[in-house]
């Protein structure tokens, strides 16, 4: 993985694939305030660094991960 994670933005489907959960889970994390998001036009993006932090915190709270 190259680049600065704090500058890498992912769409909701990309974010879900990155951490192994569905897009609906990413939307729930955003809605519940666990994951900051940025809206550009009609699309929503999350920073990769924020995504990894939210995924780690969810795992510690006992969240589940989808296996592919």
11-56 pLDDT, tens per residue?
999 999 999 999 999 999 999 999 999 999 999 999 999 999 998 8
How long a stretch of residues is the chain?
68
Residues 59-68: what's their mean pLDDT?
61
pTM as predicted: 0.77
| The pLDDT of residue 62 | 65
**Is 6 a residue whose pLDDT tops 80?**
no
| The pLDDT of residue 1 | 46
- Domains of the chain and any CATH numbers: 5-60 (1.10.1660.10)
Q: What are phi and psi of 47, to 5 degrees?
A: -75, 140
């Amino acid at each position: 993985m190259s680049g600065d994670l704090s500058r890498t933005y992912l769409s909701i489907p990309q974010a879900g694939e990155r951490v192994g959960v569905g897009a609906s889970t990413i939307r729930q994390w955003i809605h519940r305030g666990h994951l900051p998001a940025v809206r550009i036009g009609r699309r929503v993006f999350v920073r990769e660094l924020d995504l990894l932090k939210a995924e780690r915190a969810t795992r510690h709270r006992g969240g589940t991960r989808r296996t592919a």
